[in-house]
């Protein structure tokens, strides 16, 4: 691990930006002399920054001083090739993933407060990686917690003061395929966890029928990990009538972070395509759920009967026993997080950008169209990680 510090006058501008390529360990890290300050104001938390997923926060970096930014702090560990999950940033600290660990460092000096490394040497390096971070500090007698989701579908609750594990649990129903790629969010007393399925890719390499897994959302008590409710995007897969080689329904991954309307007690999630037939009306959809019960309030589907998995892009697999239903769909899911905004006339809407190149504005209460805009062309697979950012009245894909 390498730490470099520079001129103090730029630290507040640039120290919150983390550079590096992931890693397993914290060897060589300098330990901080003072404990982490849990009362330090939070500057950035979660992928969406706020419950509306605007990804917009105040910053002292402006067009006038951006050209003068220089590197004053880098945090890197040698040997890994990626770093996932938006960091949690306070006025004192940065909490970030290093692929196989979560670390808390001082944002000025780079010293380390703690490191959480739950994976042993026998763990699969392709699956035991962290993908999301979320910080919860309600104050009072409540314990401040950091939540980290991994590619195995396990959510880790970490004591934000010490870096010790408080609890961890598998979130899902399919231990072979469920994973956490989106950042959980907290509202109305529950922590809401999006769950996606690796089977969209893994079915290419696996033997047996395709496909058995589906996306879901689970609400848990953040302090105990106890499940409050679960929403399954599709019913459990069954062998399909007339096609003994196919399971369904399936798919509908929830790749990204939900948005929450606390006034209406609604949770909004975007879903992916079905992997094989039959198609369901909950795929390629924005879905509004009751935050207290998980009951579906409404569903808006942008593309019907979109069935697709990675084997559809591999012609050598299209013969006998193919796992791709022909003609295949175009993989037109809502991979980006929904965003909550108000239109110029004051109407509250949820904005969703699908991979069909269209951005939809939907009434939060009913899911009815309030407007749409065609911004681009159809994209497959790679566009699923795209996100939206609100800056004033502009919405841009980033």
Encode pLDDT of 283-322 as tens digits. 999 999 999 999 999 999 999 999 999 999 887 765 556 7
Distance, in Å, from the CA atom of 17 to the CA atom of 162, rounded to the nearest integer, reads 23
Query: For residue 83, what pLDDT is reported?
Result: 81
How far apart are the C-alpha atoms of 64 and 211, rounded to whole Å? 53
Model confidence at 281, pLDDT cuts 50, 70, 90, reads very high
Structure tokens at 335: 């991979």
Using CA atoms, how far residue 218 sits from 48, 85, 170, 227, 346, in Å, is 18, 19, 11, 7, 32
What is the SS3 assignment for 136? strand
The answer to whether residues 378 and 330 touch, using CB atoms and an 8 Å cutoff, is yes
Neighbours of 192 (CB within 10 A): 29
Q: What sign does the dihedral 2-122-113-193 (CA atoms) show?
A: positive
With contact defined as beta carbons under 8 Å apart, do 364 and 356 qualify? no
pLDDT in tens, 192-242: 999 999 999 999 888 889 999 999 999 999 999 999 999 999 999 999 998
Q: According to the model, what pLDDT value does residue 397 have?
A: 53
What single DSSP character describes residue 310? G
Radius of gyration of the chain (CA): 21
Q: What's the pLDDT tens digit per position in 55-81?
A: 988 788 899 999 999 998 888 865 667
Rounded Cα gap, residues 357 and 359, in angstroms: 7
Q: Report pLDDT for 242.
A: 85
Q: How far is residue 330 from each of residues 75, 326, 365, measured CA to CA in Å?
A: 39, 11, 29
| CA quadruple 280, 281, 284, 285: dihedral, nearest 10 | -150
Query: Taking a C-beta distance cutoff of 8 angstroms, is the pair 89, 107 a contact?
Result: yes
Residue 375 pLDDT class (50, 70, 90 cuts) = low
Give the confidence band of 374 by pLDDT, cuts at 50, 70, 90. Answer: low
Model confidence band, residue 124 (pLDDT cutoffs 50, 70, 90) = confident
Please say if the pLDDT value at position 379 is more than 60. Answer: no
Residue with more model confidence, 345 or 2: 345
For the stretch 144-201, pLDDT in tens is 999 999 999 999 999 999 999 999 999 999 999 999 999 999 999 999 999 999 999 9
Report d(CA 297, CA 44) in Å as an integer: 30
DSSP string, 234-278: SPPPEEETTEEEEEES-B----S--EEETTTTEEEEE---BSSSS
Taking the alpha carbons at both ends of the chain, their separation in whole angstroms is 30
Domain ranges of the chain: 1-58+69-151+165-170
Q: Is 10 helix (H, G, I), strand (E, B) or coil?
A: helix
pLDDT at 79: 61
């Amino acid at each position: 691990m390498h730490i470099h510090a520079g001129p103090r006058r730029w630290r507040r501008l640039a120290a919150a930006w983390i550079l590096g390529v992931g890693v397993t360990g914290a060897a060589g890290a300098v330990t901080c002399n003072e404990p982490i300050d849990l009362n330090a104001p939070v500057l950035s938390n979660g992928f969406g920054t706020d419950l509306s997923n605007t990804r917009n926060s105040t910053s002292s970096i402006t067009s006038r001083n951006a050209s003068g930014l220089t590197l004053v702090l880098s945090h890197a560990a040698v040997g890994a090739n990626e770093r996932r999950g938006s960091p949690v940033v306070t006025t004192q600290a940065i909490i970030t993933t290093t692929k196989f660990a979560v670390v808390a460092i001082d944002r000025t000096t780079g010293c380390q407060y703690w490191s959480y490394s739950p994976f042993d040497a026998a763990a699969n390096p392709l699956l035991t990686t962290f993908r999301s971070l979320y910080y919860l500090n309600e104050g009072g007698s409540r314990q401040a917690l950091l939540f980290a989701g991994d590619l195995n579908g396990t959510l880790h609750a970490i004591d934000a003061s010490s870096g010790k594990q408080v609890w961890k649990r598998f979130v899902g129903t399919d231990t072979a395929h469920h994973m956490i790629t989106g950042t959980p969010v907290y509202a109305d007393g529950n922590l809401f966890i999006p769950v996606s399925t690796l089977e969209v890719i893994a079915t290419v390499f696996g033997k047996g029928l395709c496909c058995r897994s589906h996306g879901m959302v689970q609400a848990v008590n953040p302090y105990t990990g106890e499940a409050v409710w679960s929403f399954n995007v599709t019913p459990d897969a069954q062998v399909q009538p007339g096609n003994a080689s196919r399971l369904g329904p399936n798919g509908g991954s929830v790749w990204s972070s939900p948005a929450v309307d606390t006034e209406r007690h609604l949770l909004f999630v975007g879903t992916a395509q079905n992997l094989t037939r039959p198609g369901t009306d909950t795929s390629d959809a924005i879905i509004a759920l009751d935050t207290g019960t998980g009951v579906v309030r409404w569903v808006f589907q942008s593309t019907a009967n979109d069935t697709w998995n990675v084997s559809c892009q591999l012609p050598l697999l299209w013969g006998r026993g193919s796992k791709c239903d022909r003609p295949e769909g175009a993989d037109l899911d809502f991979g980006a997080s929904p965003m909550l905004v108000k239109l110029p006339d004051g109407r509250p809407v949820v904005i969703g950008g699908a991979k069909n190149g269209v951005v939809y504005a939907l009434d939060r209460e009913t899911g009815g169209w309030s407007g749409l805009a065609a911004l681009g062309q159809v994209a497959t697979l790679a566009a699923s990680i795209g996100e939206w950012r609100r800056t004033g009245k502009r919405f841009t894909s980033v």
